[in-house]
Amino acid sequence: MRESTTPDPDPFATTQWTIVLNAADSSESVRQAALEDLCQRYWMPLYVYLRRRGHQEHAAQDLVQGFFAQLLEKNFLNSIDATKGKFRAFMLVAIRNFAANEHAKANAVKRGGHLDTLRIDYNSGESWYRQEPSDQLTAERLFERRWALSVMDTVMQRLRERFVEQDRVDAFEILEPHLLREQQRMPYAEAAAQLQCSVASLKSTMYRMRKWYRELLLDEISQTVDQKEVMDELGQLLAVISGEFGQ
């Protein structure tokens, strides 16, 4: 495998702030692509936030759908201070304001409409939400928890793609369950036998895998906050992940 000292340069050449601030001036195809990207990253944290705030299942779906329908509109962005701060905080304020306005108008955009191309699996969101204890986390904390797990899922997918590119997906699938559980003893001999390689080679692969994971995680976080806040945001995300995996 090729050594890497910096995050892979491509998947997000621009920040999520840039996507939102510039998409309103872009072509329909660019707007749709930007909306699809933002939707896949944030729909579930927003959905569970609305559910914990007391919105019923279908009402929360309507609000999420309507929110993304208006997110990239100039007049909607003008009402939000998107010039600084954390992107997740911007999204939380934006959905809170949108839900309040839609409640006042009582005319939320219904599911479907012109956003049929957005792939939103509300069943998975509802299933995840129903597994959460109803009395332990506020809506804001639940949003942060789901946001952190969504970021981790994205990073893990990017890491898997790196292994696929090097024709080592078998190694990824065997080592991935141990990646975030460094306190547990890694069964190197057993894994090496499965991959038909030496223990030394497997240890080297795991070292690179953990290194790449940290780089990709840092790269992903850098898309959502000002550079001076990256380490603080990373620390908050890792704290949530650590709690989730019991490290």
Residue with structure tokens 């919105």?
55
pLDDT band at residue 108 using 50, 70 and 90 as cut-offs: very low
Cα distance between residue 118 and residue 40, in whole Å: 8
Task: Flag whether pLDDT at 104 surpasses 90.
Answer: no
Q: What are phi and psi of 208, to 5 degrees?
A: -65, -35
- Residue 6: what pLDDT? 40
The answer to whether the CB of 164 falls within 8 A of the CB of 83 is no
The pLDDT assigned to 36 comes to: 82
User: Tokens representing 184?
Assistant: 């547990």
The tens digit of pLDDT for each residue in 125-154 reads 888 788 776 667 788 888 988 888 888 899
- Decide if pLDDT at 90 tops 50: yes
How large is the average pLDDT for residues 6-28?
A: 59
Tell me what pLDDT residue 210 has. 92
Mean pLDDT of 6-34: 62
Question: In this predicted model, what pLDDT tens digit does every residue of 153-187 receive, in sequence order?
Answer: 999 999 999 999 999 999 999 999 888 765 457 78
Model pLDDT, residue 156? 94
Q: Using one digit for the tens of pLDDT, what is the confidence trace for 45-64?
A: 999 999 999 999 999 998 99
Whether residue 83 has pLDDT greater than 60 = no
Per-residue pLDDT averaged across 101-119, rounded? 55
* Residue spans per domain, the chain: 16-245
Average pLDDT value over all residues in the chain:
78
pLDDT in tens, 209-230: 999 999 999 888 888 777 778 8
Say yes or no to pLDDT of 207 above 70: yes
d(CA 191, CA 8) in angstroms, rounded, equals: 27
Q: Does the structure show a pLDDT above 60 at 34?
A: yes
Are 49 and 142 in contact by the 8 Å Cβ rule? The answer is yes
Q: How confident is the model at residue 80 (pLDDT cuts 50, 70, 90)?
A: low
Token look-up 């010039």 returns 83
Q: Which residues contact 62 (CB under 8 A, 6 or more apart)?
A: 108, 109, 110, 111
In this structure, are residues 39 and 116 in contact, taking their beta carbons and an 8 Å threshold?
Answer: no
